[in-house]
Structure 1
């Protein structure tokens, strides 16, 4: 499934193009973990790939200095996705630390604004490839990828397979931290709720109506046209 979507940018382990999923063209959008570990060579490779905008989904308290400077021509846009300080955030922090797809439907229903703001940042980005990321490139990144891929007509099977790749790609990082296997941890958590990763994602995907979700939560028709052109032109 991954083919040429897998990207090798020195310093990071979880970098892939969303091309070939639905109608997404190569070089439009790339998902990854936080790019703070990219080396100078890694940033040079990203630049050569066409990256001109990085959309950071993390909260300001999570941001760390880059190990190597970003090319001057790359713009970084901050679009925090977690609604920190809300009852929603406190509720889900106690359930899954917002680290599983279990919270996706509630997030889209109760706090669509930050999701649409991140989508808008991609739509309004300068010409070139757009990278979006959170910390590990799994859940906040996964939720935004799900929204974009749903708009682009990707199948539930494609979206789920793409989400699951991150568990394998990020395993070396979790091992470094001495953390337990995240796929096992999330699988066990969802089992206590009588569901699975696949079933949870499928429920979110099939209930998300596009482009109604975006238009109903503030994205304009013009922005929608720009976003579609960016993804599929």
Structure 2
């Protein structure tokens, strides 16, 4: 582990343990970009860290082959978080391409089912550390991290700081691809809507009542208990 939470797994650059935020224990859940670029040594590091389940938040159309084989003992669960093909998705593609915190409260309100499905995948995973990811590990991953961390009692400023880390972690990759600086681009998008990273995320966090949100949208009491045990005991 680099620092307290950053993990060095060869082939990926945006890997971090949520342990230490709120009441989350280390080696319970790890967020990252798509692990498809992990090398054999990178997968060996994930296995040695205790990873036994990977939850993929991407749409099936985004799937790509792994650069190196996953250890046989790792289970991959697909739990797409974006409601592709819905009016919601089409609307938000035009607003922010679902690439900023702007869409978080709308998704939580209008499409709670995929959120709860992803949470359930973590709650029901086999013993061991759970990794969850999307493509770059920023927004879909950030939304699920926000939900888990809010449940675990993390302060809004902790959740905001964790979200923002991805811009730094992924900057070199984005530069190599010729992308405009993403921190600046998203900040400008938020500013045009009269908000900031901090204000937008904090508003979402403080309006999310836990565990009521999860229970009202289909998570069972037993699954909630399992999730709390995984995250915090």
Calculate the TM-score normalised by the size of structure 2: 0.99
2:217 corresponds to: 217
TM-superposition CA deviations, 1:190-212 (whole Å, max 9, x none):
11101011110010000000000
Mapping of 1:106-125 within 5 angstroms?
106-125=106-125
SS in 1 for 2:4: helix
- 1:42 is aligned to 42
How much does 1:112 deviate?
0.5
After superposition, give the CA deviation of every residue in 1:10-35 in whole Å (9 maximum; x if it has no partner).
00000000000000001000000000
> What residue is the counterpart of 2:99 in the other structure?
99
1:52-73 deviation line (CA, Å, top 9, x unaligned)? 0000000011011000000000
In the alignment, does 2:20 pair up with 1:20?
Answer: yes
Per the alignment, residue 206 of structure 2 pairs with 206
Task: Tell me how far apart the structure 2 counterparts of residues 25 and 108 of structure 1 sit (CA, whole Å).
Answer: 25
Corresponding residue number in structure 2 for 1:71: 71
Matches of 1:11 and 1:176, distance apart in 2: 15
| Aligned residue in 2 for 1:193 | 193
Uncovered stretches (5+) of structure 1, i.e. residues with no partner: none
CA RMSD of aligned residues (A): 0.7
Is the aligned partner of 1:132 residue 2:132? yes
Q: Secondary structure at the match of 1:3?
A: coil
2:172 is aligned to 172
Deviations along 1:146-166, whole A, 9 cap, x unmatched? Answer: 000000000000000000000
Distance in 1 (CA, whole Å) between partners of 2:37 and 2:223 is 32
Inter-partner Cα distance in structure 2 for 1:89 and 1:4: 36
Deviation at 1:103, TM superposition (A): 0.3
State the match for 2:8 in structure 1: 8
Q: Distance in 1 between matches of 2:172 and 2:70?
A: 24
- Which consecutive residues of structure 2, in runs of 5 or more, have no partner in the other structure? none
- What secondary structure is seen at the aligned counterpart in 2 of 1:5? coil
Q: CA deviation at 1:4?
A: 1.9
Match of 2:160 in 1: 160
Aligned to 1:33: 33
Q: Distance in 2 between matches of 1:190 and 1:153?
A: 26
Displacement of 1:176 in angstroms is: 1.4
Provide the rounded CA distance (Å) in 1 between the counterparts of 2:105 and 2:135: 21
Aligned partner of 1:86 in structure 2 is 86
